[in-house]
Amino acid sequence: MSNVLSKEELISLNKSEYLTPFSHIIFRIILHAALISCALLAFQGDHFLIFFVLFLLHSACLQFLGYAGLSHELFHGKVFPQKRLNRTLYLISSYVLWNNPAFFEISHKVHHINTFSEKDMEATIQQSFRPLDIFFYCLIDIRMMARRSVYLVLNSAGRTISFNPIQIEHIPDQNASVTMHARRIAILQTGILIALILSGGLMAGMIFWCAPFTATFPNRLLAAAQHTGLADHKENGPLLFSRTLILPRWLSILYAGMNYHGEHHLFPSIPYYRLSELHQKLQDKGHLQNTDSLEFFRRRFWRIVKSETAR
């Protein structure tokens, strides 16, 4: 990679710190606290439409805590200098969104080592964008809620079942890690739900319970855009088989810098909050080609999705 970055530049960009990521986490906490508090006040005042809009905004922002967001970066272990802190926050953020880390840890390693291979389930579009699907993605996806609940029960009982067959290809049918994580998810979700109902009322509990399955559309769109339409470049390196999107700063923070996706694939060891600096260096040196803005979704995304799903 010496032709892309000097050794000194790479060492500088690879450094993790505490202040920036902690400030971003505080931003998330304040944002969600404000949205939930205002939503509950609106509900108590019988302003149900305002309540529902605020609930959707809270849920949409919460999705960026997941594997197309902060959890993903925590998994790579470079958000904070301390590995144990990264691991702990990675597990907590996974559990909050009902994600079993045992599956992601397998699929994501494949994604980075063999992007666009037959076993890579992350580079290609895995979700449908039909009108009915978009309807559920924008509101409460009861299908996803039911599926995750069934899988959680079965995984907790010791059965290794996932909606992604590639994830379980190399996992024994009775996998201790899958079971352990599933039971932790069940305990955490149940404990927080009971605590919220007792302290904040039934609606507070319902917001917590439903939010992981609500308003997933924005996060799904950005996740799909990371590699959509770029399979023909799979042998040409990450700056060609990945797409960079220039987003508003607040959205880039929520998304944990994953809009700089080519940069991340090129140097996955660089913390997400330094990817914008890496982007600028690569741009100055003329290495970037797949750079888009939010206009990509209006002009090309849907045409690409229609073409790829028709194959």
- Pick left, alpha or beta for residue 17 (phi over 0 → left; psi -120 to 50 → alpha; otherwise beta): beta
Q: Which of 209, 149, 142 is nearest to 182 (CA)?
A: 149
Coil, helix or strand for 99? coil
> Which tokens hold the place of 43?
């509900």
SS (H, E, C) 66-91: CCCCHHHHHHHCCCCCCHHHHHHHHH
- Residue found by looking up tokens 């272990």 in the block: 77
CA distance 60 to 63: 6
Work out the average pLDDT over 23-40.
97
SS (H, E, C) 185-250: HHHHHHHHHHHHHHHHCHHHHHHHHHHHHECCHHHHHHHHHCCCCCHHHCCCCHHHHCCEEECCHH
CA distance 205 to 201: 7
Which tens digits make up the pLDDT trace of 142-153?
A: 999 999 999 999
Instruction: Return the pLDDT at 210.
Output: 97
Domain edges within the chain: 7-309
Instruction: Return the pLDDT at 166.
Output: 47
pLDDT above 80: residue 308: no
Contact 145, 132 (CB under 8 A): no
- Pick left, alpha or beta for residue 84 (phi over 0 → left; psi -120 to 50 → alpha; otherwise beta): alpha
Mean pLDDT of the chain: 91
| Confidence class for position 127, pLDDT limits 50, 70, 90 | confident
2-3-4 Cα angle (round to 5): 90
Q: Residue 93: enclosing H or E segment and its boundaries? A: helix 83-96
CA distance 223 to 13: 24
| Confidence class for position 183, pLDDT limits 50, 70, 90 | very high
Instruction: Return the pLDDT at 122.
Output: 85
